[in-house]
Structure 1
Amino acid sequence: MSWPDQPVIYEINTAVWLRELSRAAGREITLGEVPSSAWHEVTPAGVDAVWLMGVWERSLLGLAMANANPGLRASFHEVLPDLRPEDVTGSPYCVQRYVVAEAFGGDEGLAKARAELAARGVRLVLDYVPNHVAPDHPWVLDHPEFFVRNDNGDLERGRDPYFPAWPDVVQLDAFSPALRSAATMTLSSVAARCDGIRCDMAMLVTNEVFARTWNRTPPEQDYWPEIIGGLRAEHPETVLIAEAYWDMEWALQQQGFNFCYDKRLYDRFISGEGIRDHLKADTGYQSRLLRFLENQDEPRIAHELPPAAARAAAVAIATLPGATLWHEGQFEGRRARPPVFLTRRPDEPLDHDLAAWYRRLLAIVHDHRVRRGDWRLLETEGWPDNQSCRQLLAWTWTAADGTRHVVVVNFSDRPAQGLLPVELHRYTDLLDGMVYEQDDDLSPLYVALEPWGCHLFAAA
């Protein structure tokens, strides 16, 4: 199934989701037994792909380490004061083997889930962890040459250059030719079971970062071009998504990734600063970024921003160039984000009106084909005695057939007015259905928005 240029991806915590479905059904539900109503719930109009986060077999040794770690245990109890032993299943990024966990239905259950999604025109995204594996992964005994070891010959713990080592994983040697060959085969085996792959902490295995982390001399060929080149020979259509930080998005795009996390934009929305400057980057670069307001690693947006601000940020994210990522529970206004080690989250009141708003937003952007054609960031103008226009974010989409959409977001807690360098005569705000007309369609477009207000105009 071919991918759209700017896909919309919906992330699900597989362990938590299946446990809640099982509780509702009164029996164990696996990926192969998910009812149609549940698939319908996670594939609203406008969603192009579902990311089933954490389907792989988790490490029993890693689970024991997690349960013995006081800091982790404290984080579990913080979310679940009534924590029970069965709530802790280990980290999905402490992978013992790249086979689907039997508790989730195994590879057969995953294949059925993929078929259910495909029948709805939706693609499947899965995880791959290039930097490390569980300490009881078969490679530890069978292929010691795949790993980094210290001067005493002991396995090094997996880490990045800025933080202490993770206690439950062991470090793969990204410079080992044998490991690179095995990694290519592993990535290809993952690609055979899905349509897209999200690569965890993808920058850690680049020659630049790995050499700095481990004080090693890099080989001539960088890691990802070699691995992705091997993958493309068998799976040319697989979309690759890099979890990327430290301003390495451009480098990873050049090394073969279709999309890279735009963590900078997330940070700017949380702080409310520097958003416009961020959006001045080259459009070709921006079209290969993955925009988000939540994922399994970030706090819930309902916890970080007031409700009106979160909606304004969502309108912006939904209408920018690039891929977008939406997190299960985000639509309903959930505030608790359980650590990925857990299979249960606390019960919370769900905001069904907010969920309907999010679903309508995605449907509007999809049904009206808002994100097609040429994208252009607009400069807003004010008056000598009124510079509130600086609070406005605005851009246009212009399709080849002349169809135009104009997005304006007042991302501030104060009213804002301004003039936009676009000429419209008759136009409709798709967000509220209001129709507007200007007597002179050659004049700049005047807008006035309340705090956190938004327009999504479609030109008639």
Structure 2
Amino acid sequence: MRNFPRILEINTWPWFHSFRRNRQVNSLEHISITDWQELTHNFDTIWLMGIWQRSETSKRIAQTHPGLLRDFQQALPDFQPVDIVGSPYAIKSYTLDPFFGPPSTLEKISQTFHQLEKKIIVDLIPNHIAIDNDWLISHPEFFLHGSPADLLHNPEDFFKPPIVINESEDPQESAIFVHGKDPYFPSWTDTAQLNAFSAQYRREIISILNELAQWVDGVRCDMAMLLTDRIFKETWKNLAGKPLEREFWVDVISAVKERHPHFLFIAEVYWDMEWELQQQGFDFCYDKRLYDRLIHASVDGIRAHLTASWDYQSKLVRFIENHDENRAQKTFGEEKSKTVATLAFTLPGAYLHHYGEQLGWNIRLPVQLSRFPFEKLNQNINQFYQNLFNKTFLKYQFKDAKNGKSQSQSESISWAFNTEIPEPLIGYMWYDQKECEYFIVNFSSVPQNLTSLSLNFQKNGIQVKFDTISKINWQSLTNSSRRSSFLIEQDITERALEFNPWEVLLLKFHYC
């Protein structure tokens, strides 16, 4: 298994809606291993997004929410209320939604993926849960609570659940709940806020994860930074109560990894908190900082970001779209999308690819909807991704000693960022004891010439002697018709390279 996962996010409900309409199957377990292989063959880790049981209350709220209805109509020109199935992030329970098949289905498709030597990850939504979840009755101690006065003065943030609370409980303490929220946005009114400082809730999440680890290989943790002591206290003030002895994620991740050491924890995280969550135990964290800088064409910002330490870079998740963001074609346009995709795919860290990205889709689908809009295949984009995925890069041969590989294997491949290359070019390289892959990106909309080709780097602490290099092969990763080579007959610094707008060149050479 690669040390740097190639993750495919599948919005499972609309994908299965399309698949079963065409193939006449009514459960994920009836999908053949051949069909799964065809769908996932470019990836080693599959994120089945949105498979947990949806909430009927969340569905009803979405049916009358003005902002969501506008989004639904924009995404689906022929939108009908029946298309709403509720949010996958306001779940009724951590059981498979019946739409996907019986409860045993997850075990069976997990076995299929493992036959294909692929990992499977699912959602963990630790900050909040649907307002009709049974925990509100059986375990009110898992949640934050308010008072009748809070409900009276702030009905957008506080609520009485649409289910009957145990009459033996003090209504002042247990009957008023709080909606989940991001402190910078209005409350999610289909959710109830869970309490990161509740020891009982932590034990429950650990139990759920240990059970899931029997079948799946990891979780993508929704809005993970909201559970940190600092953010939770800042968001909820006096409602939060007193923090426990250890951070939420330190407790949860260490407990699960004690029994399942290779179980993956991937954090959706914003606000430049990636390093903080890496230190709390996450294997990989969203690289939202790079995504934002790619959008705003901040070459100096991108370059500065890529000079960070290996320990930080190697635990980031690079992406150019996901279910929360606009489609890459909408955000970047066709040519620039190839450039940023190549960067995301070849930088250190995990790579996250969103289903439809490789098809050149333009429409972001709200997660509450059950079907994709019709979009034509973009042949140019599809061919670009096939070319990119079919190449063998040193990055994906890197193995980490921590994951059971020998130290010599771990050290045989290195990565370096070239700080000497002039803006708006970005240069970085992967190399081992014999071979180097040197990526040079023209991150601009105008042609560029590189008149001095600097290849200064060290291989395992030893300066590479370029008089041993006789030939450099180069190819464009964004324009498959551009490729060539040149012999090293004189000082390499005199060799010039020309770049088209938004072009990525890969130089490959061997040395001894």
Which of 42, 51, 54 is equivalent to 2:50? Answer: 54
Residue equivalent to 2:4: 6
Counterpart Cα distance in 2 of 1:458 and 1:163: 47
Task: Report the CA distance shift for 1:354/1:178 in structure 2 as closer, same or farther (over 3 A).
Answer: same
Q: Secondary structure at the match of 1:57?
A: strand
Is 1:22 aligned to 2:20, yes or no? yes
Residue equivalent to 2:295: 270
Residue equivalent to 2:181: 159
Residue equivalent to 2:403: none
Task: Report the CA distance shift for 1:336/1:37 in structure 2 as closer, same or farther (over 3 A).
Answer: farther
Which of 448, 457, 471 is equivalent to 1:416? Answer: 448
Which of 420, 425, 428 is equivalent to 1:392? Answer: 425
Counterpart Cα distance in 2 of 1:121 and 1:150: 48
1:306 is displaced (CA, Å) by 2.1
Which of 315, 318, 338 is equivalent to 1:291? Answer: 318
Task: Report the CA distance shift for 1:29/1:435 in structure 2 as closer, same or farther (over 3 A).
Answer: farther
Residue equivalent to 2:114: 118
1:28 is displaced (CA, Å) by 4.0
Which of 379, 390, 393 is equivalent to 2:419? Answer: 379
Which of 414, 430, 434 is equivalent to 2:484? Answer: 434
After TM superposition, the structure 1 stretch with the greater mean CA deviation from structure 2, 211-220 or 405-414, is: 211-220
Is 1:106 aligned to 2:114, yes or no? no
1:60 is displaced (CA, Å) by 1.0
Which of 208, 213, 221 is equivalent to 2:230? Answer: 208
Q: Is the 8 A contact 1:126 1:190 kept in 2?
A: no
Q: Secondary structure at the match of 1:439?
A: coil
Which of 327, 330, 334 is equivalent to 2:361? Answer: 334
Structure with higher Rg: it is 2
Counterpart Cα distance in 2 of 1:15 and 1:83: 16
Residue equivalent to 2:509: 459
Residue equivalent to 2:32: 35
Task: Flag structure 2 segments of 5+ consecutive residues without an equivalent.
Answer: 149-171, 400-412, 456-465
Counterpart Cα distance in 2 of 1:37 and 1:68: 41
Counterpart Cα distance in 2 of 1:439 and 1:412: 31
RMSD: 1.8
Which of 430, 439, 446 is equivalent to 1:407? Answer: 439
Counterpart Cα distance in 2 of 1:368 and 1:231: 29
1:446 is displaced (CA, Å) by 3.3
Counterpart Cα distance in 1 of 2:290 and 2:255: 32
Is 1:189 aligned to 2:221, yes or no? no
Q: Secondary structure at the match of 2:391?
A: helix
Could you tell me which amino acid in structure 2 is paired with residue 93 of structure 1? Y
1:271 is displaced (CA, Å) by 0.8
Is 1:355 aligned to 2:382, yes or no? yes
1:459 is displaced (CA, Å) by 0.8
1:118 is displaced (CA, Å) by 1.7
Q: Is the 8 A contact 2:3 2:396 kept in 1?
A: no
Task: Report the CA distance shift for 1:178/1:78 in structure 2 as closer, same or farther (over 3 A).
Answer: same
Q: Secondary structure at the match of 1:224?
A: helix
Q: Secondary structure at the match of 1:115?
A: helix
Q: Is the 8 A contact 2:63 2:81 kept in 1?
A: no
After TM superposition, the structure 1 stretch with the greater mean CA deviation from structure 2, 61-70 or 351-360, is: 351-360
Residue equivalent to 1:385: none
1:345 is displaced (CA, Å) by 1.6
Q: Secondary structure at the match of 2:357?
A: coil
Residue equivalent to 2:144: 148
Residue equivalent to 2:151: none
Is 1:251 aligned to 2:249, yes or no? no
Counterpart Cα distance in 2 of 1:412 and 1:85: 44
Counterpart Cα distance in 2 of 1:183 and 1:368: 34
Q: Is the 8 A contact 1:404 1:459 kept in 2?
A: yes
Counterpart Cα distance in 2 of 1:370 and 1:421: 25
Residue equivalent to 1:443: 493
Residue equivalent to 1:77: 73
Counterpart Cα distance in 1 of 2:33 and 2:507: 35
1:442 is displaced (CA, Å) by 4.9
Could you tell me which amino acid in structure 1 is paired with residue 444 of structure 2? S
Task: Report the CA distance shift for 1:445/1:97 in structure 2 as closer, same or farther (over 3 A).
Answer: farther
Residue equivalent to 2:201: 179
Q: Secondary structure at the match of 2:376?
A: coil
After TM superposition, the structure 1 stretch with the greater mean CA deviation from structure 2, 286-295 or 62-71, is: 62-71
Counterpart Cα distance in 2 of 1:136 and 1:22: 29
Task: Flag structure 1 segments of 5+ consecutive residues without an equivalent.
Answer: 382-388
Q: Secondary structure at the match of 1:326?
A: strand
- In the superposition, the TM-score normalised over structure 1's length comes to 0.93
Q: Is the 8 A contact 2:3 2:398 kept in 1?
A: no
Residue equivalent to 1:386: none
Deviations 1:15-55 (A, max 9, x none): 01100101212x3442112234532332233x111111011
Q: Is the 8 A contact 1:375 1:396 kept in 2?
A: yes
Could you tell me which amino acid in structure 2 is paired with residue 458 of structure 1? K
Q: Is the 8 A contact 1:92 1:341 kept in 2?
A: yes
Counterpart Cα distance in 2 of 1:444 and 1:205: 54
Is 1:96 aligned to 2:96, yes or no? no
Q: Secondary structure at the match of 1:347?
A: coil
- The number of residues matched between the two structures is 448
Is 1:303 aligned to 2:315, yes or no? no
